[in-house]
Amino acid sequence: MWVVVAVVGLFLKCLLGALMVLVISVLSKSKSFYIAGLIPLFPTFALIAHVIVFQGQGAQALQKTALFGLWSLIPYAVYLAMVYVLATRVSIGACLGLATCAWVVAAGILLYAWTSFYR
């Protein structure tokens, strides 16, 4: 029985992810194409992660997860700033590649700082 519940849960998570991709695709072709940049910020995976953390670790762990989530906006802001600066200066591959590298560096710094100072 638990296997069926697990499979149905995974299927629903996949369906939610596919729905997000579909919405992004449709919006990117519309007059309001910029809204496609908002859709990835919908907390699809955060909702899933928060339920799992709460069920496994409790409310205090969920609180700590939410705080880390707030700090994790910094690497995303670094990524977006790099895309903004590089979008008209380099190819799309270089732009997204460099922005992703900047995200990895910022995320690494965040993880180091979090594990060093917050634990």
Q: Residues, the chain, total?
A: 119
17-57 residue pLDDT tens: 888 889 899 999 999 898 888 888 888 788 889 999 999 99
Q: For residue 99, how far is the Cα from the chain centroid? A: 15
pTM, 2 dp: 0.77
Listed by start position, the domains of the chain span 1-42, 59-119
